[in-house]
């Protein structure tokens, strides 16, 4: 099954500061590229647990007694680690991008390049698809989603066009949706606006930002002092949440200070700025062009002592 090249693989592995006997988590397994890289650095005592909510990813499982693949959303990180006998880990990796496999599978509806079912579910067990959203939500709610998650300048016109089109016939395919909004795609920017539209629906269908906030909060809790959190994001909405956590210790970005004015955070950024792909990687792997990598290190707190 064709999956993408792992983005910034060496930077991710370096960021995790891997130990041969450590316990690590890859919360976005996908094709397993990053996980295989981690496994190469583990000794007999090391362990890697991975999460993926997409059933297709299960076919890429690594046959190794040190490896465990959990078919669940990473927002349940803490619970499923405990179910697998793990309370503390030494490093957590998250690559928040949609996999090339998902984009290339027309039936999943992730890509504007193909005509397929307007689905966009990462986890096929979930009941609500993108088709449900565009056919059932009122215009105001649709507009809110397109503006908030797609950052579409013409969200109102797009929502209005979708509601008008569905009165004629249900919007059930990616082509149906494209036709519904075609008059609101600025010339020369059609693909960009379609990508923003699909991103908005995908984030809503999968509850992506809420899940990310839940995972990050739990990640800091389960890390050992000195453990690393390595997160790669691909759009500003995700990156803002990750940046907030690294800078303030919480996903809201609220600076909390003690009596002496010191910032109260149990994680600190390892690098001040986000790491971006090298020129050679951009040339080799077009998918990496919008990637931003942030690394945080767990600080010892009173609870850890």
Neighbours of 65 (CB within 10 A): 7
What confidence score (pLDDT) does residue 1 get? Answer: 46
Strand partners, 28: none
pLDDT reading at 142 higher than 90? yes
User: Mind giving me the DSSP string for 22-75?
Assistant: -EEEES--TTSHHHHHHHTT--TT-EEEEE---GGGGGG----TTEEEE-S-GG
Q: Is the dihedral of CA 280, 283, 288, 289 positive or negative?
A: positive
**pLDDT classification of 263: cutoffs 50, 70, 90:** confident
Of 71-75, 150-154, 231-235, 278-282, the poorest mean pLDDT is in: 278-282
SS3 2: coil
pLDDT reading at 93 higher than 60? yes
pTM equals: 0.90
Strand partners, 298: 267
What confidence score (pLDDT) does residue 103 get? Answer: 44
For residue 18, the Cα-to-chain-centroid distance in whole angstroms is 22
pLDDT reading at 304 higher than 90? no
What confidence score (pLDDT) does residue 111 get? Answer: 55
The set of long-range contacts for 179-186, using a CB threshold of 8 Å and a minimum separation of 24, is 180/134, 184/154, 184/157, 184/158
Average of per-residue pLDDT across 40-52: 97
Better-scored residue on pLDDT, 6 or 74: 74
Q: Is the dihedral of CA 19, 298, 86, 96 positive or negative?
A: negative
For residue 277, the Cα-to-chain-centroid distance in whole angstroms is 17
Average of per-residue pLDDT across 183-190: 94
Of 58-62, 204-208, 229-233, 297-301, the poorest mean pLDDT is in: 297-301
Residue environment code for 108-121, b if the CB has 16+ CB neighbours within 10 A, otherwise e: bbbbbebebebbbb
Distance separating alpha carbons of residues 131 and 156, to the nearest angstrom: 19
pLDDT reading at 102 higher than 80? no
Strand partners, 280: none
What confidence score (pLDDT) does residue 135 get? Answer: 97
Residue 95's alpha-carbon distances to 26, 109, 202, 288, in angstroms, are 8, 21, 16, 11
Distance separating alpha carbons of residues 92 and 229, to the nearest angstrom: 5
CB 91 within 8 A of CB 153: no
**pLDDT classification of 113: cutoffs 50, 70, 90:** low
């Amino acid at each position: 099954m064709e999956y993408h090249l792992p983005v910034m693989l060496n930077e991710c592995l370096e960021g995790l500061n891997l130990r041969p006997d450590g316990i690590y988590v890859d919360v976005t397994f996908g094709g397993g590229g990053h996980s295989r890289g981690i496994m190469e650095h583990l000794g007999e005592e090391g362990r890697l647990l991975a999460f993926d909510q997409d059933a297709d990813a299960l076919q890429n499982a690594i046959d190794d007694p040190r490896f465990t693949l959990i078919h669940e959303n990473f927002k349940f990180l803490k619970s499923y680690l405990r179910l697998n006998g793990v309370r503390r880990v030494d490093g957590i990796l998250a690559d928040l991008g949609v996999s090339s496999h998902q984009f290339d599978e027309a039936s999943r509806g992730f890509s504007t390049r193909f005509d397929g079912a307007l689905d966009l579910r990462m986890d096929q067990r979930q009941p609500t698809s993108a088709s449900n959203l565009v056919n059932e939500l009122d215009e105001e709610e649709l507009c809110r989603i397109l503006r908030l998650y797609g950052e579409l300048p013409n969200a109102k016109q797009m929502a209005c066009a979708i509601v008008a089109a569905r009165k004629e016939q249900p919007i059930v395919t990616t082509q149906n949706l494209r036709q519904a909004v075609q008059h609101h795609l600025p010339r020369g920017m059609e693909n960009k606006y379609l990508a923003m539209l699909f991103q908005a629906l995908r984030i809503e269908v999968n509850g992506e930002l809420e899940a990310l906030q839940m995972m990050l909060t739990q990640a800091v809790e389960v890390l050992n002092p000195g453990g690393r959190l390595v997160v790669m994001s691909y759009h500003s909405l995700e990156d803002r949440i990750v940046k907030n956590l690294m800078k303030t210790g919480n996903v809201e970005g609220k600076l909390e200070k003690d009596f002496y004015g010191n910032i109260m955070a149990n994680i600190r950024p390892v690098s001040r700025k986000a790491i971006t792909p090298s020129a050679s990687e951009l040339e080799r792997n077009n998918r990496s062009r919008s990637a931003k990598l942030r690394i945080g290190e767990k600080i010892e707190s009173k609870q850890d002592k």
